[in-house]
Structure 1
Amino acid sequence: MPFKSLLPAIFVAAIMSTAAHAESVISVEDAYARSSGANAKAGAAFMMIRNSGDSDDQLVAVKSDIAARVELHTHKIDDNGVAKMMEVQEGFAIPAGEAHMLQRGGDHVMFMGIKQPFEQGATIPVTLVFEQAGEVVVEIPVDLERKDGHGHMKHSN
């Protein structure tokens, strides 16, 4: 069999092993999304991201068609003691064998220019992009009733 005819098979095997690697080391737990109301133009998602692998990773981007822009954000306290939200362009470190919490008042996924209202019980497709693990797709449930903290639901890839 000529080498040229093996290339597609090699390419598919490489992609499959990368996807399997991402699924085996990165998991997402207790994810939920919320917005402030039916006419809100912005919303956020929160979750625990766990890295069960042997290598550190970095969440570098997030994608979703639900909004015009989707960014990784955090809250910083300015010199006057006022909390301000800001984009974290470098993303969030997810150390090997550890987890990183995206939570209200801290690091989170920010949806700006929401294209449709967040409805209780609906799900939002989101792609988390990692330096090492690649893309991890999660379906994040909308929970408009949750005030703070995390429940006990578990979602993982």
Structure 2
Amino acid sequence: MKKFLKAVTLTCMMSALTAHADVVIKDAWVRATVPQQQATGAFMQIQSPRHVRLVEVQTAVAGVAEVHEMQMENNVMKMRAMNALDIPAGKSIELKPGAYHIMLMNLKNQARAGETVILKLTFEDDDKKREVREVKASVREMTVMQHKM
């Protein structure tokens, strides 16, 4: 019986580790700020072989971190917070300027190019199981090419 319980426990642990490794986050970066600027954006590519939702973002560098989307409405670009961002199975979702992004507000310090910002992203699967991924995002100056992406 003890061997059986150990095997079940090990299988559950391996499943949890495999699930954690499913979400892939690439090219994470944060837009640099100027002194006194209170907000900036974080951008990245997120992919998962199974459907998950990005449901929460936390960071020590900002008082508020939210997933936002930008959409054109009546020839005016509008931004709004989202409760969650769906990451469809097998598809890559790009968080980029002018589209989905993570808004960092009430910044505690200036974000300077070359620094690193730690973000904790919480994903939830269809069974409501959550996993937290720590992401190291490099702070970059905004270039014209990045803005047109």
Superposition TM-score, scaled by structure 2 size: 0.81
- Equivalent residue, structure 2, for 1:122: 115
Return closer, same or farther for 1:72/1:15 CA change in 2, 3 Å cut-off.
farther
Identity among equivalent positions (%) equals: 28
Mapped partners of 2:13, 2:37: distance in 1: 38
1:65 aligns with 2:63: no
1:28 aligns with 2:40: no
Q: Kindly report the root-mean-square deviation, in angstroms, between the aligned alpha carbons of the 2 structures.
A: 2.5
Return closer, same or farther for 1:66/1:27 CA change in 2, 3 Å cut-off.
same
Report the structure, 1 or 2, having the larger strand content.
2
**Which of these residues, 103, 110, 126, is aligned with residue 110 of structure 1?**
103
- 1:13 Cα deviation (Å)? 8.0
Which of structure 1's runs of 4+ aligned residues deviate more than 3 A? 12-17, 145-150
The answer on whether the counterparts of 1:18 and 1:134 sit within 8 Å (CA) in structure 2 is no
**Which of these residues, 83, 101, 104, is aligned with residue 77 of structure 2?**
83
Return closer, same or farther for 1:143/1:13 CA change in 2, 3 Å cut-off.
farther
Query: Structure 2, unaligned stretches of length 5 or more?
Result: none
The answer on whether the counterparts of 1:104 and 1:148 sit within 8 Å (CA) in structure 2 is no
Mapped partners of 2:99, 2:52: distance in 1: 19
1:37 aligns with 2:31: no
Query: Structure 1, unaligned stretches of length 5 or more?
Result: 151-157
Superposition TM-score, scaled by structure 1 size: 0.77
- Equivalent residue, structure 1, for 2:139: 142
